[in-house]
Structure 1
Amino acid sequence: MKYTQPLLLVLCFLWFSPTFADGNIEVVFQIVKSNSGKPVTNAVVISKKGKTSAVSNDEGIAKLRFPEPGYYEIKVSTADRTESVFREVRFKGQVILVTISEANLSGIVVSGERDKTPLSRYGLVQDEIKRLPGVSGDSLKALQTIPGVVIGAPVGILPSVFTNIGSNLLTGNPYSNSERGDLSLRGGGTRQNQYYFDGFPLPYPFHLGNQSSVLNNNLIKSFDVFTGAFPAKYGYATGGIIAIEGTDRVDENKTIINTNLFLSDIYNQSKILPGLAMISSGRKNYPNVVLLQVYPQGIPEDAKYAEYQDYQWKLIWDINAEHRLTVQTFGTRDRQAYTKAQADLERGGDDPRPPTGLDRMFRTDAIRYVWKGKTFRNTISYSRTSFNEFFELKFTNPLTAENIFGLQNRTTDTITYVQNTFEWELWEEHLKLEAGVQGRFRETTLKGENISSYNRLFYNIFNDLLNSNAAFRSVIDGDRIRYREKSAYAELPFKYGGFRLTPGARVDHYSGSNETNLAPRITGGYLFESTKTGIMAGHGIHYNAPVSVEALSAKSGNPNLFMERAEHNSIGVSQEFANNWQIKIEGFRNIFQNIIVPDAYIVDPYALNNDTRVFVNETAKVLANPITPKNLNYSNAGYGHSEGVEIFIKKTKDPREQSGLFGWISYTNSITKRINNQSRLNSEETRNRTLLNNSRTLLGQAKMGTNYINYYDDNNLEVIYNNDKEQLYDLDRTHILNVVFGYKFNPEWMVGGRFRYFSGTPYTPITSATRANQAATFGLNLYFPNYSGNYNSDRFLPFHQFDLRIDRIENYSWGYINTYIEFVNFYGRRNQAGFEFDNTKNYQRNQNPAPTYDTVNSPYIVSQTPNGKMAIIPLVNIGIEVRF
């Protein structure tokens, strides 16, 4: 009986064959097995709607002729099974790949979509994100519309080495419980996420200022965002995982060129020899040419535009059905050069932006070998990532912009990553073992160089900074850190009927503190096939080694910091509906422990007095006191938690239809709080403590709970009570709503929209200002802001924005031309990003401090109305994409 259905299909083929010759669009179908990629021979390929069919040859090739372009149901029948797929026929000579499950053929599916947990995971494929509105063709920006994802404060003016010292050094904000970075996932730190491209570490996902991703749009096949209890193979993170999958198979030669007002990119994939293929892509943007030169008067005063470029290259060699070798490299470069000379060139010297320059780049070289058999797969991966950052910083007189001093800092970071993973199907379709070992080896150096000054006050001001800020001192003197992380993991995914259970565990060893931690994880659920209703739950422990260079510094920080710890808990329900609708609701609670925070009280009483600068300046004192108390400046005292509910509604367009609606709605309601567990002393208490400690020496320090107990050489004890309070996380947003939709009217016209709404982030308001009397000595009137004692007690105004995109797609026998126009920030909303206090003016409510606006995530153009008033209009982007 198993041959009955194929026989009927063959008879249908013979019956309809006289009419098939009328079709004038010949399309090549390549039928392969999903796991091994081997061709499927003697498979009957039929399209009833197209009235055409064929039988695949020894190479798995079947040629069918269709009367016109459109979507067709394709049935592929072998001796064992029949499968139906829907594919779009566009032009003569098109090559369409169809993969057939190997469950009943000659192997097993050891990886793929069906093996990925649906809990706390949100994935999108290229067809859904390729033409996302408002991002200039950058599909990775779609991950910012996933539930639980919060846009952080990306590295802008300050580079990565200054992220922790920058707020106090430049703005004077008295309180912070976060750091700069790209994304926060369910309340996790922005630098506690891990990004992967094709399984290799990706240093950062977006270009400088969060403008666009560092990967070519057409290279991205799909991506997964894991926001909680992620699989055991992912480590080195307490926040979340973003795993981007690139194109891994070349079925046809093609080139795609995309150019618009702000950037151009090119993508090419080619078959070189049988089993050997190459993929390459590159991109370059030019906002300074279009915006700063063509229409500079329309640019907001506080806008910051950096230029960037990126590249990707991959060689794929399918040695045979069991062995594959890939070699790839990818990298990027960002430059933001707002020096005085650049300002003179771009805007005639009338440029209020800070005189800073930043040149940042990375490059990753990687190789991977895959050996796959009938029931197993073994993968060996190696990569080396080099990061280089050159940063220029200038401190100036706020009245005259006269340079007090300037310095250039260079940071280099090298990460070597090795991994061996093994997958073995123990019970076909039901039980599988996934295990592996991983290693990361990191070395970071930083050094201040080319220090300059044209001001008589330079010596005093510069040395005051050196003496008061250990992180700043370590930059000037130079520093280096090295550490190793070694890990092993195992999981046992089990499935039977609608039941699914995945127990697993991970072991992480960190050389900095010489600690080894066990991280158990488990997820499970049940799918009711009759109603397509699923329930799921999960729990996981996650660890991450310190990532901040200044925190780990042996000169200015605490090299003995422990790993941060997070506990992720999730529970959810999913439901599929007719017409390709699905909804998922998930509740979560994440607990963050051992968070690394600035600590003004932690001291090593018996540290070596080996500071080079101190030794040179006070040699006799150092020789007399070779052991001295040393402030460590950072500790693992922080704690936090985040809880909330997420709703994700998704509509997939029916592939059988040439028109239709698709898109998704995501909503997150959550609250995230942090506590640094630092004693809050008022100014008088701080002054008295400083005076007293200047006359005595610390002999010992202990910790009872979150309180410090110090013992001094005058036989007195000091108890530093922790009177800190739990505050809102700096990036907390109560409500996050994203609505993304696309509507295809026909094969030629499509319109898409994206609406975003976020609650404003918390901040500590300025309540008054104090005049700096000592500044009068130098002829200056300076005012320093006084902040409210209720930290993070106010919120900025909500963020909301709508983007619109219209596409015109013309199909040809050689490919297509896609012309598009985007209206970014369609109704001209100015979204507040923060506030700026003018130190030359006194505090004045609603005027000083003045709001600053987000011109990167929410760009706009300034124009003038006929009556002279300011008008905010959307940023218009016109582009064309050619595929051939």
Structure 2
Amino acid sequence: MCPLGYNGYEPKIMKLKNVFLTLFSLLILSTLGYAQDNTVRGFVFDQETKEPIAYAKVILKSKSETPTTQGANSDLDGFFSLAQLDKGFYYISVRASGYLEIKDSILLDKEKSIQNLRFDLKKPEDVKEIEGVEISASDKSKTTEVEISMVKLDQKGLERLPSFGAENDIVSAISVTPGVVTTGDQGGQIYVRGGTPIQNKILLDGMTIYNPFHSIGFFSVFETELVKSADVYTGGFDAQYGGRISSVMDITYRDGKSSKLGGKFSISPFMAKAVMEGPLTRSKDSNSNAGSTFIFSAKKSLLDYSSRSAYPYVNNGSGLPFDFTDLYGKVTFKGDMGSKVSFFGFNNNDRVNYANVADLNWTSSGGGLNFLLIPGSSPIYIKGHLNASGYNIFFQENDSLAPRESSINGFDLGFDFTYFLKNQSEINYGINLGSFNTDFVTYNSTTLTKIQSKENNTEFAGYFNYRLITGRWVIQPGIRLQYYASLSELMPEPRIAAKFNATEDLRFKVSGGRYTQNFTSAASDRDIVNLFYGFLSAPTSIPSTFTYPNGKVVDVDNGLQVAWHAIGGFEYDFTKNLSLNVEGYYKYFPRLSNINNNKLYDDISAFYYIADESKKDFLIESGFAYGVDVLLKYTKDRLFLWGVYSYGKTRRWDGFEYYTPLFDRRHNINLVGTYAFGEKKNIELSVRWNLGTGLPFTPTVGNYQGETFSEGVTTDYTTSNVSEPSLLLGTLNSARLPTYHRFDITLKQNYELKNKNKVEIIVGVTNVYNRENIFYVNRLTNEKIYQLPILPSVGVNYKF
């Protein structure tokens, strides 16, 4: 037998540690060596609001007999950098979507220097000029970044999609992302290209959000009004991200407005919410961005109060059983040249009572700081974060004797460094330190014995990315070293991505890598309905060996989960407005951990002769997922169209046989359309249709009168009379539920008042043709609980 982990191989661990330290020593030395050329860098701001402008295009052209040109795009903070420039005279131009172009010049008269610039762009009156700039910036990004298995969203993009309950939410955008499967309107979890919810990493300004979705699947804990960007990676993500093996959703909130006090209030049958923001202090210099700002948001579900009267036909008049509250606040201190530090905090809670099924509630809270530092004498761009958070969940099934509980608490500290090279090439590297503790309590479904796991864990990681742009190629190798201190495991995670710009309109791209994670779900992937979303660290109560499908037997040291990704595809622009993206993927999971629902014996010495699979709390599994995702997108002026088709197949191996997990959806289609009417484009119609083929379930093949042997070995089975029949189940997940499909429509009307404040009225209908999609079936009574029925709603919001 061969080992599945590294435990017991101390020389190998020490060798990897030495490699880790050597790597980062070389990074520091290389950075010092690079700082020998001229660098032109700075920020781009809105002249009126003083807010940073993302994706502005900065072009530098030398004045010489053989002129050279360099370009860069500003990031979400408005920052740009042009590095390794020779001495000489340069023309510089800055342009962005929705702003007039700025042209200037600059003289670099030293062998090495750092020139810090600031540009304040003014909005133009000519709309045609705006559209030309937008297309140019978009085209440039496609050729300089790999952007594989990635969807970029901003607040405007989120508001294009149909809203649920007259409220926009990031859930609607994530659910139409290629490769994403949702199991329905209730439960609030997503599955990405064969991965489970616990394998998705959700970040908000660098902080891990343990449960981002409310039990009603329409709403998340995030406030759309605050979202600056939302990047969704469905696989093949670079070495900056670690700790998860399936996907990453990196969400960034904007800072409060520095120009004036503002806000937004909205109300609908589903919720009420408020956003307030504005300056706390300002610089006396009107051209300076120095000062401090605040932003605060709160939203509260109203379904407990409104659903019985607004939707009397739901749940036999008892209404919708969902209740949630979300609070968030941030204060930001800014320097004149873009450096800043932010302090933030949040609190989220969720409660739901599914009639005759289960009661569930969870809370999440935390806070921290993040900063952006632009050293005046160094070409390095530095970001960092320090945060702490906690999450607790309680779950009680109505037919269960005892509840399930789970909690996780911890902190995270990280630093990210960027060094800009010539022609938009760049080096990224960073370090991360995290510590957390988990506490999990459940009961075995067969023996009703208590299972409890308390763990303390520390993780340390370092990563290195290098993006090289040369000719038609964009090549991005990377490496992440993830050290799990509690397990004495140092896991190397190589990553690679590349793009080839075959023509101006056709681009090929590939990516791949190794990924590991310490977290394990506190729910079984075999459960019919997954409502309980708890956390565990890598379990140790696992079988000592694992048998792969080919018969190979390996030793198992721990329950760390491991995956390999391989992705390839192409992009093609039919026109400036119409594009096609096709990607094929294969994910191999050599090691997964899952709760052992088949445990029959306690893991004690008296049962030494019993196989581990019948007495350990957790099982080791392997598996694979493969598929194809197709995205067709059209954007022009008033019209936005988005069409997604996904084909996927996922299989798990438990050491004895293959089985299909509950989220294996073979075909998934999402069609989205938005059109703006009126001279001022102040009326907007949005529609969305989703179709997903049936999810797997285990069929009931018969009933029999079971025997509980309530009197032990003396029980007389000929006279005992069990009150409820027992079920005889068929092959695990061998049947399929009916096809899921739903059509949603939203109509928005905007009014601008004399004081330039705005009122928006939203009318929406979810599940327009009232499709009865199955959510849960009671096997004994055959009682069916459906997903949400037709839900019309009207909402209004006031923005100032």
TM-score, normalising length from structure 2?
0.73
Q: Distance in 2 between matches of 1:536 and 1:36?
A: 22
Report 1:399-414 matches (<5 A). 407=402, 411-414=406-409
Query: What 5-or-longer segments of structure 1 have no aligned partner?
Result: 1-26, 40-70, 91-95, 104-110, 157-180, 339-351, 397-404, 449-461, 610-620, 655-659, 679-723, 839-847, 861-873
Report 1:709-788 matches (<5 A). 724=657, 726-746=658-678, 747-772=681-706, 781-788=723-730
Q: Distance in 1 between matches of 2:643 and 2:382?
A: 38
Of 737, 748, 751, the match for 1:796: 737
Q: Is the 8 A contact 2:562 2:591 kept in 1?
A: yes
Report 1:129-208 matches (<5 A). 129-136=158-165, 137-141=167-171, 142-152=173-183, 182-208=189-215
Deviations 1:579-629, CA, capped at 9 Å, x for gaps: 522211111111111111345899999x887xxxxxxxxxxx99xx9xx99
User: Displacement of 1:634 after TM fit?
Assistant: 4.7
In structure 1, the residue matched to 2:795 is: 879
In structure 2, the residue matched to 1:366 is: 368
User: Displacement of 1:804 after TM fit?
Assistant: 0.7
Q: Distance in 2 between matches of 1:324 and 1:279?
A: 15
Report 1:85-100 matches (<5 A). none
Q: Is the 8 A contact 1:292 1:299 kept in 2?
A: no
Q: Is the 8 A contact 1:76 1:84 kept in 2?
A: no
Q: Is the 8 A contact 1:128 1:663 kept in 2?
A: no
User: Displacement of 1:266 after TM fit?
Assistant: 1.0
User: Displacement of 1:268 after TM fit?
Assistant: 1.9
Query: Alignment partner of 2:738: what SS?
Result: coil
In structure 1, the residue matched to 2:26 is: none
Query: Alignment partner of 1:492: what SS?
Result: strand
Q: Is the 8 A contact 2:365 2:389 kept in 1?
A: yes
In structure 2, the residue matched to 1:263 is: 271
Of 268, 282, 286, the match for 2:298: 282
Corresponding letter in the other structure for 1:785: L
Query: Alignment partner of 1:230: what SS?
Result: coil
- Pick the structure with greater CA Rg: 1
Change (3 A) 1:543 1:645: same
Corresponding letter in the other structure for 1:782: E
Of 375, 381, 384, the match for 1:377: 381
Q: Distance in 1 between matches of 2:798 and 2:220?
A: 21
In structure 2, the residue matched to 1:576 is: 573
Change (3 A) 1:669 1:411: closer
Q: Distance in 1 between matches of 2:316 and 2:478?
A: 51
Identical aligned pairs, as a percentage? Answer: 19
In structure 2, the residue matched to 1:506 is: 480
Q: Distance in 1 between matches of 2:49 and 2:763?
A: 35
Q: Is the 8 A contact 2:308 2:320 kept in 1?
A: no
Q: Distance in 2 between matches of 1:499 and 1:327?
A: 40
Query: Alignment partner of 1:299: what SS?
Result: helix
Q: Is the 8 A contact 2:500 2:507 kept in 1?
A: yes
Using the TM superposition, name which of 554-563 and 358-367 deviates more: 554-563
Change (3 A) 1:850 1:337: closer
Deviations 1:464-491, CA, capped at 9 Å, x for gaps: x799244xx135xxx5211111111100
In structure 1, the residue matched to 2:435 is: 441
Deviations 1:841-866, CA, capped at 9 Å, x for gaps: xxxxxxx6454322xxxx21xxxxxx
In structure 2, the residue matched to 1:468 is: 447
Corresponding letter in the other structure for 1:818: E
User: Displacement of 1:811 after TM fit?
Assistant: 1.4
Query: Alignment partner of 2:690: what SS?
Result: strand
User: Displacement of 1:221 after TM fit?
Assistant: 2.0
In structure 2, the residue matched to 1:687 is: none
In structure 1, the residue matched to 2:646 is: 668
User: Displacement of 1:547 after TM fit?
Assistant: 2.4
In structure 1, the residue matched to 2:340 is: 324
User: Displacement of 1:243 after TM fit?
Assistant: 1.0
Change (3 A) 1:583 1:416: same
Change (3 A) 1:485 1:817: same
Q: Is the 8 A contact 1:822 1:878 kept in 2?
A: yes
User: Displacement of 1:806 after TM fit?
Assistant: 0.8
Check if 1:563 corresponds to 2:530.
no
Report 1:26-425 matches (<5 A). 29=48, 74-80=99-105, 117-136=146-165, 137-141=167-171, 142-152=173-183, 182-248=189-255, 250-253=257-260, 254-274=262-282, 275-292=291-308, 295-299=311-315, 305-321=321-337, 323-337=339-353, 353-354=356-357, 356-373=358-375, 375-392=379-396, 394-395=398-399, 407=402, 411-425=406-420
Change (3 A) 1:74 1:487: closer
Check if 1:485 corresponds to 2:485.
no
Q: Distance in 2 between matches of 1:629 and 1:801?
A: 45
Check if 1:853 corresponds to 2:773.
no
Q: Is the 8 A contact 1:766 1:785 kept in 2?
A: yes
Q: Distance in 1 between matches of 2:495 and 2:154?
A: 27
Deviations 1:675-694, CA, capped at 9 Å, x for gaps: 1113xxxxxxxxxxxxxxxx
Check if 1:515 corresponds to 2:489.
yes
Of 589, 592, 596, the match for 1:592: 589
Q: Is the 8 A contact 1:552 1:560 kept in 2?
A: no
Q: Distance in 2 between matches of 1:325 and 1:289?
A: 40
Corresponding letter in the other structure for 2:103: T
Q: Distance in 2 between matches of 1:665 and 1:543?
A: 32
Change (3 A) 1:466 1:213: closer
Query: Alignment partner of 1:78: what SS?
Result: strand
Change (3 A) 1:826 1:36: closer
Query: Alignment partner of 2:306: what SS?
Result: helix
Q: Distance in 1 between matches of 2:300 and 2:519?
A: 33
Deviations 1:395-443, CA, capped at 9 Å, x for gaps: 48xxxxxxxx5x5665432021111111112x23343111111122111
Q: Distance in 2 between matches of 1:554 and 1:734?
A: 31
Q: Distance in 1 between matches of 2:178 and 2:670?
A: 8
User: Displacement of 1:638 after TM fit?
Assistant: 1.1
Deviations 1:327-366, CA, capped at 9 Å, x for gaps: 111220112357xxxxxxxxxxxxx534x54331111201
Query: Alignment partner of 1:127: what SS?
Result: helix
Q: Is the 8 A contact 2:582 2:631 kept in 1?
A: yes
Q: Is the 8 A contact 2:257 2:278 kept in 1?
A: yes
Query: What 5-or-longer segments of structure 2 have no aligned partner?
Result: 1-45, 59-95, 107-117, 283-290, 523-534, 544-555, 711-716
Q: Distance in 1 between matches of 2:493 and 2:539?
A: 28
Change (3 A) 1:138 1:556: farther
Q: Distance in 1 between matches of 2:122 and 2:667?
A: 38
User: Displacement of 1:577 after TM fit?
Assistant: 3.6
Change (3 A) 1:112 1:247: farther
Q: Is the 8 A contact 1:539 1:570 kept in 2?
A: yes
Deviations 1:353-394, CA, capped at 9 Å, x for gaps: 34x543311112011122114632112211101112344555
Change (3 A) 1:123 1:802: same
Q: Distance in 2 between matches of 1:447 and 1:637?
A: 20
Alignment RMSD (CA, Å): 3.9
Query: Alignment partner of 2:451: what SS?
Result: helix
Q: Distance in 2 between matches of 1:85 and 1:230?
A: 33
Q: Distance in 1 between matches of 2:318 and 2:125?
A: 49
Corresponding letter in the other structure for 2:263: T
Q: Distance in 2 between matches of 1:330 and 1:114?
A: 38
Corresponding letter in the other structure for 2:743: F
TM-score, normalising length from structure 1?
0.67
